[in-house]
Amino acid sequence: MRPLRLEMSYMKPLMFMLLAVSCLAQMATPEPEMADIFYRLDHDKLVPLERQSAAIHGNAHGFIVMSIKTASEFPGAKSSIKFNNAEQLDFVVRSVAPVTAADPNTM
């Protein structure tokens, strides 16, 4: 009888830890549905950011040893999205995804 009581004394803390872990698992960060689209995480909600295509400029020179420089330029002087200084900024992007999750606007 003594070993059975010893095992039962560990059941309450074990059940509490399992319950806590299951609650935390339900509060996971939401995942974007499409790949390569950036979102801002705002109180467990995904807020889509503006999407623009970049103009990529580059040059390369050399024969045996190559030197390559590239630059990406977005049109417009400023972004239409503004953030407050006091806000915590968390961004979410899905970078590795199956083909079915790709943004249909880029095909």
DSSP string of 61-94, one letter each residue: E-SSS-EEEEEEE-SSSS-S----TTS---EEE-
Q: What is the pTM assigned to this prediction?
A: 0.46
pLDDT (0 to 100) of residue 10? 59
pLDDT digits (tens, 9 = 90+) for 38-54: 888 888 888 888 888 88
- Per the structure block, which two tokens stand in for 23? 């609650």
